[in-house]
Amino acid sequence: MMIYILRSLNFIVVFAIFCGYATAETLCKQEEIVYFSCHTSTEKIISLCGNSMADTENFWLQYRFGKSSRIELEYPKKRTNLFAESGFDVGYYRRSNGFDTEVSFTTNGWSYTVFNWFGGEEDHPGSTGVFVAKQRSGPGTTLACKDMPNFGNNNIFFSFASQYDQSNE
């Protein structure tokens, strides 16, 4: 009986640690959908959170950056319909050996681009993170993801990008 209790306690502890880690890797709330989330080398978190894309009339997306104890930037502050009012630009670029996925916005004179650049080639394996600059194509700073990002259930980040891609307009 004692062995059974100890095994049960070990399972509970391991499960609690796993659940705590899974919760810590995103700034999205439990009722929200994680579209993208990762830790940077500075231990801050980059997250794109939203609701279901199935509700096209009310679909919203928010960028969050910081730590779970203190979100430093949330854009937009108010949840709004994705393209009617929010200012997000989405690009999904296919190349011969890879693809690039970008979700960009500008606020307070700064441009932010959450990206996944997948080269598919040995000399360009790809990178993921957020690029911040005064101008979208100008000099800036890249905060790279230090580990494999969470692209949401069933890689919803890529489904979202291909559905809302504006790069061909």
The pLDDT of residue 31: 94
The pLDDT of residue 101: 92
The pLDDT of residue 12: 32
12 in helix, strand or coil?
A: helix
The pLDDT of residue 1: 44
Are 164 and 157 a contacting pair, CB within 8 Å?
no
The pLDDT of residue 150: 94
Separation in Å, CA 36 to CA 5, 61, 153:
38, 11, 10
- Boundaries of every domain in the chain: 2-164
Query: pLDDT tens digits, the chain, 169 residues: what are they?
Result: 444 333 333 333 333 333 333 434 899 999 999 999 999 989 999 999 999 988 888 889 999 999 999 999 999 998 877 666 788 999 998 877 778 899 999 999 999 999 998 876 666 667 899 999 987 667 899 999 998 899 999 899 999 998 888 776 5
